Chain A
């Protein structure tokens, strides 16, 4: 707990260090920013408590020590992007930040916390969050804001590779941009004007990495092995092998085995799409490996299965699974979901804005979040958005260097910007005005200059 401060008229000086937490459903991105500006990249910590099949429990970054991910059971404190189970979250935060041996040791009474949240949160969950930060941890100063909006505190035009003079002044926050955040639980579209999220135009699609992994699990369990208890392995497979198709019909045609008796050339040779995935056997190999499809292997394996010694490795041939899975981000109706695809989601968000803002938004679409790492993701989004807007509009879609930590780096920029002084709430203010006041202040945001 923080020592009691004497109330001064000017308030206490701002804390020396800022802990920035991008508390995602799958991973926490965490790191410190100090006033002198020595920047370290954030640590990416799994935000879960896991138990493997030998009933050993791993908390957060201990998961790095785990080798055998078969049948691992995972418990996540964050649901749908919001911290719901504080019991588990506190355990993770304690181990990572507040214990004596914590890897990112932090003294809350002399630190500021900048915490990201997903847009359109439930007020009860927000107030839980504020109460935990101040009453349990006692941070000296705190700001909680929409994660996507922090991306405006990058040098955005650098990401878009806009040609400009070498010594041009970098505008921070960026004037106009549209952030597409495709994470573990869902995908949101947030228009941002000078660092302020335009709340009335934020739209959400309930498809995220979790749903994609579950879908791939279902497909593989139907067609190959039952992997329903090995979602962790399937997730690795998804990250390694899946891609967004730029020619869906053509790719689907290449991966079709054909009618009965037909021996289609692209199917037999793999057509450049089929890949072999070698599953981890948790004795010698702990990570799956993607290999090029080997047409001779499959017949050999069949022969071996008939007589000879069993093959030492489990190989799974991925064909249309590779692109059908990310495809549901763009066509949710493929699995019967009654929601628009990603490009339509962008359009729905734009329709909520005056048309005069469209050109600026369309020319500055930034995609962040883990799903953006699928190959061809931004190309596909750009093509689909271009089909939907007038010819005159320039559509640019860009991917930051690391889409997963992009929000964190943006928040680090925010922590050095003068905006943070206007927005952050001190512990003293919390104690004086109460949680409702804090919630209202965060909801109001920066306002208009």
Chain B
């Protein structure tokens, strides 16, 4: 329900905590995606979700509040650290004293870090204290991931061997075995080195004499190749092989800097697969499939019994 186009104005509740910082607001806020509390983000998500789901702003806010409650530490009422008389006050270094006295929570630290990122984006020379991974590299990595993803979703499920642009270094490749009969014999490309076979035990076309090809990072495959089979040359039976990453690629992977905390959070399924499965709806009372909507509030229940239980407490108006 779109609630007749009326979208709830966000509350003005702000977080009042130690460790606050002024953040220059230019560009999308990464924390909002992970911990969606800002009103800007709420508005953005509403426009995106309209039409697809029937969540109103109110219901959306309720789901979010529920999730926040679920994520909270259970029963953290203030438990004081027991005082002990046995140990005398030792002297701490200034750093240690500062750390021990800090009452910041993880959310405070995260906000600090985001603020620091924003500042370092604006004037890079002021970024002395910490050396976080350069945002450029992190975004490049995610972009590469997205690119990789797009490629694989656009192509069919069977992985097709794609010639990697990085592999165009024939000078360093050793000559290797003579060109093998490939699945498509009409397009002969004699200069290209044969791609290394998959390590999985499956029928393969080439003799696996060396795997990976010039493997200085991963040790070579030195077991005997699987037995040849009369159907090996059959273009219908042949397995597709993906090129093994080159040493340069592996080296780049192994020395890549860590992503930031927010970048490492997995993206929503809908954004990845393009067409995610629809959300499953459950009965709010007993947990079976939510097959019936309450006419008053739109909540889901399974059958009459549960509907009656639900109605006893149903106070909300539909769509609100």
A392: chain B residues at CB < 8 Å are 198, 200, 202, 239-240
CB distance from B21 to the nearest CB of A (A): 12
Residue among B144, B152, B282, B287 having the largest count of chain A Cβ atoms under 10 Å: B287
Chain B 63-107 interface 0/1 with A at a Cβ cutoff of 8 Å (1 = within): 110110111111111111110000100001101100111111110
CA distance A337 to B66 in the complex (A): 10
Partner-binding segment picked from B10-18, B179-187, B224-232, B251-259 = B251-259
A131 with B258: CB separation less than 8 A: no
Given the contacts A49-B81, A331-B280, A259 and B130 also touching, CB distance less than 8 Å:
no
Interface majority SS on A: helix, strand, loop or mixed? Answer: mixed
Does the CB pair B105–A79 fall under 8 Å?
yes
Known: A136-B92, A260-B303. A352 touches B74 (CB 8 A): no
How far is the CB of B261 from the nearest CB of chain A, in Å?
A: 5
Partner of A360, one of B78, B93, B199: B199
Q: Report the separation of the CA atoms of residues A320 and B280 in the bound assembly, to the nearest whole angstrom.
A: 15
In the assembled complex, the Cα of A50 lies from the Cα of B77 at a distance in Å of 10
Q: Check A74–B106 contact: CB distance below 8 A.
A: no
Name the one of A194, A202, A356 contacting B258, with C-beta atoms under 8 angstroms: A202
Partner of A132, one of B99, B133, B289: B99
How far, in whole Å, are A257 and B287 apart by their CA atoms in the complex?
11
Q: Indicate if B304 sits at the interface (CB-CB under 8 A).
A: yes
For the complex, what is the distance from the CA of A347 to the CA of B269, rounded to whole Å?
Answer: 11
Task: Say if the beta carbon of A275 comes within 8 Å of chain B.
Answer: no
Interface size counted on chain A using CB atoms at 8 A? 112
Query: What is the minimal beta-carbon distance from A253 to any residue of chain B, in angstroms?
Result: 8
Asked whether any CB of chain B lies closer than 8 Å to the CB of A210, the reply is yes
With an 8 A cutoff between CB atoms, is A310 at the interface? no
Q: Once the chains bind, are A123 and B131 in contact (CB under 8 Å)?
A: yes
Give the distance in Å from the alpha carbon of A205 to the alpha carbon of B269 in the complex: 11
Q: Is the interface of B mostly helix, strand, loop or mixed?
A: loop
Q: Is B208 an interface residue (CB 8 A)?
A: no
CB-based contact A444/B82 at 8 Å: no
* Interface residue tally for chain B (C-beta within 8 Å): 101
Q: Select which of B80, B95, B106 is within 8 A of A84 by beta carbon.
A: B106
Most chain A CB within a 10 A radius of its CB, from B70, B149, B266: B266
Chain B residue nearest to A146 in the complex (CB): B258
- Give A45-66 interface residues, CB cut-off 8 Å to B: 49-51, 57, 59
Among residues 282 to 334 in chain A, which have CB atoms less than 8 Å away from a CB atom of chain B? 320-321, 324, 331, 333-334
* CB-contacts of A238-276 with B (<8 A): 252, 255-260
Q: How near does chain B come to A268, taking the closest CB pair, in angstroms?
A: 15
Q: CB within 8 A of B269: which of A124, A333, A363?
A: A333
- CA–CA, A341 and B92, complex, Å: 45
How many whole Å from B166's CB to the nearest CB in chain A? 9
Q: Decide: A124 near B109, CB < 8 A? Known: A351-B145, A392-B202.
A: yes
Contacts of B272 in A (CB 8 A): 340, 344, 348
When C-beta atoms are compared, the residue in chain B nearest to A171 turns out to be B219
Chain B residues with Cβ below 8 Å from A188 are 264
A116-153 with Cβ < 8 A to chain B:
119-125, 127-128, 131-132, 135-136
Specify the chain B residue showing the minimal Cβ separation from A349: B266
Considering the complex of A and B, which 8 residue pairs feature the smallest CB-CB distances, nearest first? A231-B74, A336-B63, A75-B79, A352-B145, A338-B268, A79-B106, A354-B245, A356-B244
> What is the interface of chain B, defined by CB distance below 8 A to chain A?
34, 63-64, 66-67, 69-82, 87, 92-93, 95-96, 99-106, 109-110, 112-113, 129-133, 141, 144-145, 148-149, 152, 157-159, 164, 196, 198-202, 217-219, 239-240, 242-245, 249-251, 253-261, 263-270, 272-273, 276, 279-280, 282, 285-289, 302-305
Write 22 A-B pairs (CB below 8 A) sorted by A numbering: A51-B77, A57-B82, A59-B81, A71-B75, A73-B75, A74-B75, A79-B105, A79-B106, A84-B104, A86-B99, A121-B258, A122-B109, A122-B113, A131-B99, A198-B253, A199-B259, A211-B70, A260-B305, A333-B279, A338-B268, A393-B200, A443-B257
Known: A59-B82, A394-B201. 4 other contacts (CB 8 A): A259-B305, A336-B66, A348-B149, A447-B255
